[in-house]
Amino acid sequence: MSLKSMASLIAVLTAIAVGFGPRPAAAATSPGVPCSDLAPLTFEGNTTITAATTVRGGMLTTPANQTLSNLPEFCRVIGVSKPTADSHITFEVWLPVTTWNGKFLSSGEGGFAGVLNYTRSGLDGGLDELLRRGYATASTDTGHVSSDELWAIGHPERVVDYAYRAKHLVTVAAKGLIAAFYGKPPDHSYFSSCSNGGRQGLIEMQRYAEDYDGVVVGAPWAFQSHSAAGMVWTAQALAVPGASIPATKLPAIQAAAIAACDRIDGLADGLIEDPRKCNFDPSVLLCTTGDNNTCLTKAQVDAVKKLYTGPSNPRTGEKLFPGWTPGSEGGWANLGTSRLPQAYFGSLVFENQKWDFKSFDFDKDMAAADAKIGAMANAISTDFSAAKARGVKVIMYHGWNDAVLQPEYTPQYYEQVAAANGGVDTTKDFMRLFMVPGMQHCYAGPGATSFGGVGQQIPPVRDAAHDVQTALEAWVEQGVAPNQIVATKYANDAAATTAIRSTRLLCPYPQVPKYKGSGDRADAASFQCVAP
């Protein structure tokens, strides 16, 4: 390391030691250090850098043997955090050399994580696409590898890392590396992710409000313990003799639900605008002249009713979580075989690899899960006072056709946040929710489902009207809150598709899009946001 680099590094480390605000003037004038000189840096949580190299040539092969192309030159930093003797949190931070836009945008990690989010294969939200857009970015395995399904058994500190600690430590390290490499902290720090990544975003604001200036929260697995219990409820309902529903019957169920509820919003478009208003009774599909793909047996009708209803406590009658929404049936093929509840209860809660979902008690086992894991991993706090004080802004979204995480809880949670923060009129000053008709889990589905979220097709225009991340930045940096977002429906949901089939207006909850009465129904301009 040269004397000049050493002096620069000392200046930056001094800035790091006194902490990070959004734009500390003192650090902004410090020269940066070369990529290779980042290796000596250490950060909170016993975080060290294991490699720092410059990637040229536009190509990179990831540890998962993914070939990434069309990349700008960047500094690739690999590190590990070991806050406890049982912790091993791997992460990477990517720093564009000449194309940095001055901002940090962290990726998130879905499901139980265990792997870095290098790419979404031509879709939005991976490290590669964020790098191409000019952001410094980061991702982490949160302290375990996805190939180990039993990672939590006997490793309570790894559960803490996954629940909340890893994302914070990696964020601290990423911001420190940015300050060192560029000679100044990021002008603004953002987070955008979906599913478990959405939960991570909420946890960050609830526990570490200083980490980010703005957060995009997609389809959050917020009430993790109760959502997983809902999946167990589903598996138990479908395990009743004769109750299993073949995938070949799902189109008939979905078609009947849409036929019953499509016109509730006054527009026949093949979508259920708000499934909570739908009172579809699957009994209308009861077989009368033999079993076939257009009807349901009595056992299957009963199972479908349970899937719509969701779990409840058998002792108190308390409803524990919403069920699946009418209109989402096309995604039900894997409901009874999902590994999420097995991994959550078998590994994290009961630490028993032989745990059987059929034994789950929705009274005492639910309480045990809430106490052991829910207390640290559920992102259901309504206290955003620290985030509000910093001016943090939040955009949430969830698709009504989600058949992975029950979508109805998200507006319930938003209403709880609003109730605790002076009502919707004051809550919308820092947090807004957009529900998406026809969108499945995070992306895809029969509706207009591309607006800049993780895993979605890249929107046709990167502006605040069409891209949720750009809308968030306009809110944080210019004070322009998103009053609507235009979602795009491509000819299909493949990354290579560029032909636009339609656009649709998304509105801040509780507003809904309403057809103006004239104009192209496939054009968002023919709709306006109105009170429900």
Residue with tokens 């952001």: 135
In terms of Cα–Cα distance, which of 14, 8, 214 is closest to 104? Answer: 214
If you ran DSSP here, which 8-state letter would residue 460 be given? S
Q: Which amino acid is at 198?
A: G
| DSSP-based three-state secondary structure for 110 | coil
Q: For 319-446, list the strands marked E by DSSP.
A: 393-399, 431-436
Query: CA dist 415 to 237, 287, 325, 419, 494, Å?
Result: 29, 40, 18, 6, 34
β-partners of residue 527 are: 515
Segments of 174-273 assigned E as strands: 188-194, 214-218
- Say which residues have a Cβ less than 8 Å from residue 170's Cβ, sequence separation at least 6: 81, 89, 91, 93, 106, 138, 139, 140
Q: Which residues of 252-263 are buried (b: 16+ CB within 10 A; e: fewer)?
A: bbbebbbebbbe
- Ordered alpha helix ranges (H), 316-460: 340-341, 364-369, 375-377, 385-390, 409-420, 424-427
Residues 323, 342: Cα–Cα separation, whole Å: 18
- The helix or strand, by DSSP H or E, that contains position 96, with its residue range, turns out to be strand 89-96
Helix axes 166-182, 3-17, angle to 10 degrees: 140
Side-chain-facing half-sphere of 196: CA atoms under 13 Å: 21
Buried b (16+ CB within 10 A) or exposed e, 487-498: bbbbeebeeeee
Residue 127 contacts residue 71 (beta carbons within 8 Å): no
Phi, psi dihedral angles at 237 (to 5 degrees): -65, -40
- The residue behind tokens 């850098």 is 49
Query: Between 196-207 and 166-182, two packed helices, what is the crossing angle to 10 degrees?
Result: 80
Q: Nearest to residue 341, comparing CAs of 360, 324, 323? A: 360
The residues annotated with a catalytic role in the active site are 195, 402, 441
Q: Angle at CA 269, nearest 5°, toward 267 and 271?
A: 105
